[in-house]
Amino acid sequence: MHPGLSSQNTALKAPPRFHVLAKPSGSLCNLDCSYCFFLDKEALYPGSRFHMSDEILEKYIVQLIEGHRSNEVTVAWQGGEPTIMGVDFFRRAIALQEKYKKPGMTFENTMQTNGTLLTDEWCEFYKENDFLIGLSIDGPRELHDANRVDKGGKGTFDKVMRGLALLQKHGVEFNILTTVNRINGDRPLEVYRFLRDEVKTTWMQFIPIVERINDDGRTVYQKGDTVSERSVKPEQFGAFLNAIFDEWVHHDVGNIFVQTFEAAARSWLGMPSGMCVFEPTCGAGIAIEHNGDLYSCDHFVEPDYLLGNVQNEQMIDMLASDFQVKFGRDKLDTLPKYCLECDVRFACNGECPKNRFIETPDGEPGLNYLCAGYKAFFHHIDVPMRMIGDLIKRNAPAENVVPMLAKMEAQWASTAGRNDPCPCGSGAKYKKCHGLRAAEAQHG
Ligand code: SF4
Ligand code: SF4
């Protein structure tokens, strides 16, 4: 038991609904993506087969069900690569959900996969059991294959696209997860248009790659204040989001859903963002390893954040433990003054603690490495987000923002000087902000 864990049953301190990322194959994967921090995690369990036993699976499902005070339960499968476990493992997981569920309880099973091992059998299973699949694609072939390679170093684009075609053939619900790294980070529109027009997804997530280099040169733990050369740069990430946002807000609102933009819209409406990284506190999203070990978060699967094991302790007690509650509150309690005074804190909240390893301009530690990017992004979207917020409050369609914005931008074009501050409030000169967009649109 972790020294910070309280021994009494603290179930009522736990949130009514929580999120567990299950890693039945641990960090094992059939690919060798260059930026994958999970691969290094094999070092945590030397000699392990990385295979969740039926006994652990049953304990996990039972405790997940018992711990929920809500009728909706998400069962999230991840890796490594979870399909390595084979379809039958997940058939047993579904049977256990049915066996132990409380009256009225419903499950949503999700799985994050690289898609390379998908078959008709997998997709039939997903469809039958209403799985929501997250498929990892980093963009068109050249950008995807830059990092997402197999054990022989060969690009996996063709295999992923084959997996995608199978999901589509069977009508499986899917969304796309794209990691933003130093290579595709410079080509946002190519990535976005590929996902929208060729992959034909309507749901996208963009996850920044920030790999901290540990003292021994590896990237296993959330330690160290330098990053790998694959990591996206802060300003690059901001520019990436801004470019995609501009394309989206002028063409795709209401048809395409980008997780970060949806979260921002909720923040502008004063609602919880729905993304843990943008919430003031965290701690309700834990991770379970193949052997039943439970960790504070999927991004903190390391010895200092081991809460215990489901074979010896109840998941709900570990979730409600003093240690885990403090882990979640620390996100807020350790915010530097620079964040506390930031005008976009309501939307950013200092983002994820794993990325807080730089100093503020006045030398206080604990600022988020991506701060410059997020500041630029949240300022850039302020005007359209206010418009979208107003529309939603009036029960009008959010897509009405498209003509409203076009009208406003036409006014700016006729009144703002090239070197004036951009009227959108981004802080950049007009010629470098909306003026640049207007010029690009004019020149096709
Ligand atoms: S540590 Fe980061 S990823 Fe984990 S729950 Fe907190 S904000 Fe989310
Ligand atoms: S934008 Fe930067 S200063 Fe503002 S809350 Fe986010 S990390 Fe903190």
Residues 24 and 77 sit within 8 Å (Cβ to Cβ): yes
- The phi, psi pair for 239, rounded to 5°, reads -65, -35
- Looking at residue 433, its amino acid is C
Residues found in the chain: 444
C-alpha 215/C-alpha 229 separation (Å) is: 16
User: Which residues are paired to 358 by β-bridges?
Assistant: 367
Q: What share of the chain is helix, strand, coil (3-state, %, to 5)?
A: 45, 15, 40
State the Cα–Cα distance between residues 369 and 279, nearest whole angstrom: 17
- Beta pairing class for 173-180 and 203-208: parallel
- Walk along the chain (444 residues) and give the pLDDT tens digit of each residue: 443 433 344 555 667 778 999 999 988 888 887 777 555 656 788 888 899 999 999 999 999 999 998 899 999 999 889 999 999 999 999 999 999 999 999 999 999 999 999 999 999 999 999 999 999 999 999 999 998 988 888 999 999 999 999 999 999 999 999 999 999 999 999 999 999 999 999 999 999 999 988 888 877 788 888 889 999 999 999 999 999 999 999 999 999 999 999 999 999 999 999 999 999 999 999 999 999 999 999 999 999 999 999 999 999 999 999 999 999 999 999 999 999 999 999 999 999 999 999 999 999 999 999 999 999 999 999 999 999 999 999 999 999 999 999 899 888 888 988 899 888 777 778 888 888 777 776 665
Alpha carbon of 255 to ligand 1 centroid (Å): 28
Residue 432: count other Cβ atoms within 10 Å of its Cβ: 12
List the residue whose alpha carbon is closest to atom 5 of ligand 1.
282
Shortest-distance ligand to the CA of residue 299: 1
> Which residue out of 37, 299, 349 has the highest number of ligand 1 atoms within 8 Å of its CB and is therefore the one to mutate?
299
Angle between helices 157-169 and 120-128 (to 10 degrees): 40
Where helices occur in 334-399 by DSSP H, the ranges are 337-340, 345-348, 371-380, 382-393
pTM, to two decimals: 0.91
Antiparallel, parallel or unpaired: β 306-309 and 356-359: unpaired
Could you give the CA distance from residue 167 to residue 283 in angstroms, rounded to a whole number? 33
Among this protein's residues, is 304 annotated catalytic? no
